[in-house]
Structure 1
Amino acid sequence: MRTVVVLMDTLRRDHLSCYNPDTACIAPNIARFAEESCRFDGHFVGSMPCMPARRDFFCGRTNFLERSWGPIEIEDVTLPKVLFERGGVRSHMITDHAHYFRIGGENYCQQFNTYEFFRGQESDPWVSLIDDPWQPERYFGDVKRQYQCNRTRITCEGEFSSVKCFEAARRWVDENEGAEDFFLMVETFDPHEPFNVPQDYLDLYGDDYDGPFFELPKYHRRDEETDAAMAHLHHRYEALITMNDRHFGEFIDRLKAAGMYDDTLIILTTDHGYCFGEREFIGKNYMPAYNEIANIPLIVHFPGGAHAGESRSQLTQNIDLMPTILDYQDVEIPETVMGRSLRAVVEKNEPIHDYALYGTFGCAVNVTDGRYTYFRGGRDQSKCFEYTTSLTTIRDWLGKGRGDQIEAGRFLPRVPYPVYRVPSGPEALVKDGGTYANEDHLFDLETDPGQTVEVEDEAVLSRMEALLVRGMREAQAPEDQFLRLGLDV
């Protein structure tokens, strides 16, 4: 069996016509792929943002209740390793996601038999310039020196690292034409910010903005950004989707030409969404986990074209992708996996979950039953601890300078190793849970899909709180999390 996963970072589902026929975003190849595939409407994130989401996918279980951004841990049982060690299935990753190669992103690519990395995204320490590169005098958001250095080598479409990823994927198909058993993961950082895109794609959106430079927004509540600037930023994001769509389509066409499409499991998804001024928020992480961020696309081409053009509304999450791939590859699913195979959803139209639990470490813990969403904010952040066997986090050492506060012991019953217990500190991705990200909210998605009107119903609140507690128990959340959230259990 052949499996291909395409993960485009920060891809909002409402920008894809298969989810939103009224979208202005131009992505005809994804639309064509969706017609030949099954669309999942109730698909939610688990852990956020980038690396926590990938640990969910690699391990089939949620990360965010135990720790923030971090590496693959010593106890982790991962999809590529299981495929090879139990099924003899070789794997290859193609990526331009620089976080895999920074502190805090260790051991992800190394799970694969082989991998390729294309340089230059975001502040990837790639291009060295002693003198400062060009930087705009007037701008909204931020301008990062290292990315301005990197973009001196990104002067045409073919030099964008995401384009190189799809080019490498096409080359890989040529070199492995006719292969039967493999797992190929093609991952592009685009359409993640900075929203640098060739002008030809921006022109498709009639963008005539002439204000301050704006490609890299700061994550904050909108203040000085003008309506014109926000429209321009959104156009840049849409244009990046359009560029990715073109090269995704060429990759799919290459699979078809090689006779490696029809009988292949092909998954298209993302790690999370993004806010472009909805409720005045820009970015992600620091605000409540609204559906613009949490309800993500999942489009799956099943072998033989089964269920093409169909959709499913049952709740699913990215932790379900590992057991799904193992199921279709006929490899035993490890006991450590919390997710469940999509086979019952697709073939029998049956639910596999009655809730989805999701969030960012240290922020609100969120749960949906498909009808309601409940965000439960922290009450006592002093009860927020990270549990890990590896003291690294995003671009930094976890607990650095606070060694006297770190304990080691067998704190996690499911982990057969001693772990560090580290009080959440200044290196956390969202400091103290953020101003907005630890608020309580309760929404009715059926009557209020935009999540703008709070539900005032004690019976619903009580039921969703009980569902949250159950979900945390089933996820084997540390007891500290219940204390942090003020849950009487």
Structure 2
Amino acid sequence: MSRYLLGTTACVVALAAAACGLQEPRAPNVLLISVDTLRLDRVTCYGGPEGNTPHIDGLARQGVRFASVQAPRGLTWPSVTTLMTGLHPRTHQIRNNGAKLDEQFVTLPQRLTAAGYETGAFLSNMCDAPNRGLAVLFCSWWGDAGPPAPGMRRQWMSHDQPEWDAAITREAITFMTKDRDPPFFAWVHYIDPHKPFDLVPEFARDEYDGSFAVNDDSLAQLTLARTPPTPAQRRQLLAIYDSQVSSTDAHIGDLLTALEAAGLADDTLVVFTADHGEELGDHNAYYYHLSSVYQQVLSIPLILRWPGHLPAGQVAEMPIASVDIAPTVLDLLGLASENLGMEGGSRAGLARREAGATGAETTFAEWGDKMVIVGQGNWRYIWNPDAVVPYGAPFKPGSDLGFSIAPEELYDLAADPLQQENVATAYPERTAALRARACEFVREKDFHLQAPRLLSPEAQERLKSLGYLQGEDDMPETMSRLTDHCPPGS
């Protein structure tokens, strides 16, 4: 039996035993809010523009904000599956959008269902993803008719992302505030500010004047010409992106207000995070995320609020990773077990500001089975030994243009937060040490690599219609062994 299943079995047995006790205090509710494609430097409490995210900022003032959190990849399905399992993509094997999660891997909702929670998910993305352990699943793509029957195809709702997000907010509020005995787990995943870059008029900035038509065609022209935007064009792009960020922040405010009005805020652990960020012309004049391996895509927020149990207005400075979030939540709920089978570690001690609590000494991110990104302190090392060139749209496979990444790149984020100067050759000893850590990581995980299992053709068509399966680099990747590039015994 898999050690991941063994860990879950042990946990469920322990939870069932605890449920038999007398006068156990009622477990808290859990509200998990995740935002798609949320760039960290557009969130005000993380250094973004003033007024962009008042409700997220309020959450940070009332809870604990983690300053440095690493996503496992700049792609939704791998990142969210890591969030839900506490496992790295090379382990859970969801290395691309459109892959199926093997039954041996257990999700956070499944664990909470076993602990007596009523679970629900309200999604504007990830609708066809491996969503298991949910009593309620609402997806705004499906409209009022609900999910299509197996094997049937049906037109989705119009592509109105703010309305999608409004719909899931309404449904989540109904779910959270209904009368119930068991605690709830509600996961709400917002799609904005995912592209297309469409202005949300009620959140338009003064800087926006419509002088630059921001759309896939205009941005593709800049990318393919390797032309950075002019300052005026960048102001227009950021004004549109920020309007989408503020729109989602307003929906989050509606969720939090509903908790307060229902008298549930003090009894609810709120977890706020994102799947990944976004490139806005920072590298290779690129305006998306799936091809990138840089911090504009891999740095994500994490805020935890639980009144009376976690301190308010605190910042946890030590670095952690998305793989740590699920074990941290379970630990805070008192459901942790040393045999959970998760690869992440609980950072509940950091949230509680306990003496001696530690973060992650080293973090890892991946680009499929082709690259590894290693983080230590302010350093980020990118290992691309086969000099793979991603060809996500608008790049075309086989052309001379792609998202260029050197075989080795090293950046000091303290001196170069935008990662513009590769200093790998200037620091050969540090580069070698981080390469060795990358080899340790892939050797440890290498036995998990296998051909990905795909969703049905109908599900893949639904993803393609959103532009979510764009081309060869976003489809299942051919097998490769990074360990072949590691010295024997490393």
Q: Is the strand fraction higher in 1 or 2? A: 1
Letter in 2 for 1:259: G
Q: How does 1:173-322 map to 2 (within 5 A)?
A: 173-176=176-179, 179=181, 181-202=183-204, 204-212=205-213, 214=215, 217-218=219-220, 220=223, 223=226, 226-227=229-230, 228-279=232-283, 280-287=285-292, 289-304=293-308, 306-322=310-326
Structure 1 residue 95 corresponds to structure 2 residue 123? yes
Percent identical among aligned pairs is 20
Write the distance in 1 (CA, Å) between the matches of 2:403 and 2:211: 33
Residue type of the alignment partner of 1:481: R
**What corresponds to 2:100 in structure 1?**
71
Q: Which has the higher helix share?
A: 2
Q: What SS does structure 2 have at the residue aligned with 1:100? A: coil
- Does 1:16 pair with 2:18? no
Q: Does 1:378 align with 2:405?
A: no
Letter aligned with residue 268 of structure 1: F
Aligned partners of 1:64 and 1:431: how far apart in 2? Answer: 24
Matched, 1:39 2:46: no
Select between 343-352 and 452-461 the one with higher mean Cα deviation. Answer: 343-352
Distance 1:179 1:59 in 2: 26
The residue type equivalent to 2:187 in the other structure is M
**Which residue of 109, 116, 120 maps to 2:138?**
116
Q: Take 1:172 and 1:57, find their aligned partners in 2: how far apart are those partners?
A: 22
Matched residue SS, 1:57:
helix
1:64 and 1:360 in contact (8 A); partners too: no
The separation in 2 between residues aligned to 1:225 and 1:343, in whole angstroms, is: 42
Q: Deviations over 1:100-139 (max 9, x none)?
A: 32xxx3x32x431211111279xxx99xxxxxxxxxxxxx
With over 3 angstroms needed to count, the CA separation of the structure-2 counterparts of 1:84 and 1:173, relative to structure 1, is closer
Flag the 1:210–1:452 CA change in 2: closer, same or farther, 3 A.
closer
Question: C-alpha distance in 2, partners of 1:446/1:30?
Answer: 25
Q: Given residue 182 of structure 1, which amino acid in structure 2 is its aligned partner? A: F
* Matched residue count: 407
Q: Distance in 1 between matches of 2:405 and 2:136?
A: 38
CA-CA distance at 1:3 after TM superposition: 1.0
C-alpha displacement at 1:224, in angstroms? Answer: 6.2
SS in 2 for 1:233: helix
Q: 2:343 aligns with which of 319, 324, 338?
A: 338
Q: Which amino acid aligns with 1:346?
A: A
Residues 222 and 80 of structure 1: is their aligned pair in 2 closer, same or farther, counting only changes over 3 Å? farther
User: TM-score, normalised to structure 1's length?
Assistant: 0.75
Cα deviation digits, residues 166-219 of structure 1 (max 9, x gap): 12222223314x7552211011111111123432222x3431123445268559
Per the alignment, in what secondary structure is the counterpart of residue 358 of structure 1?
Answer: strand
Match of 1:461 in 2: 431
Q: What is the root-mean-square deviation in Å for CA atoms of aligned residues? A: 3.3
- Amino acid paired to 2:249: D
CA contact (8 A) 1:94 1:185 kept: yes
**What is the distance in 1 between the residues matched to 2:103 and 2:396?**
25
How far apart, in 2, do the equivalents of 1:355 and 1:40 lie?
A: 16
1:378–1:486 CA contact under 8 A, matched in 2:
no
Q: Which residue of 2 aligns with 1:2?
A: 29
Offset at residue 94 of structure 1 (A): 0.6
Please say if 1:444 is aligned against 2:412.
yes
Consecutive unaligned residues of structure 2, counting only runs of 5 or more, are 1-27, 149-154, 450-479
Name the structure 2 match of 1:165: 168
Per the alignment, residue 456 of structure 2 pairs with none
Q: What letter corresponds to residue 2 of structure 1 in structure 2?
A: N
Cα pair distance change 1:78/1:475, threshold 3 Å: same
SS in 2 for 1:200: helix
**CA–CA separation in structure 1 for the residues paired with 2:412 and 2:313:** 28
Q: Displacement, 1:481?
A: 3.1
CA contact (8 A) 1:120 1:150 kept: no
Specify the code of the residue in structure 1 equivalent to 2:330: L
| SS of the residue 1:39 aligns to | strand
Alignment of 1:357-368 (within 5 A): 357-368=364-375
Q: Secondary structure at the match of 1:91?
A: strand
Structure 2 equivalent of residue 410 of structure 1: none
- Contact kept? 2:323, 2:343, Cα under 8 Å: yes
**Counterpart Cα distance in 2 of 1:249 and 1:430:** 40
The Cα offsets for residues 256-308 of structure 1, whole Å up to 9 and x where unpaired, read as 12121123211110011001111333212223x21111111111113425221
C-alpha distance in 1, partners of 2:214/2:75?
26
Change in 2 beyond 3 A, CA 1:267/1:477: farther
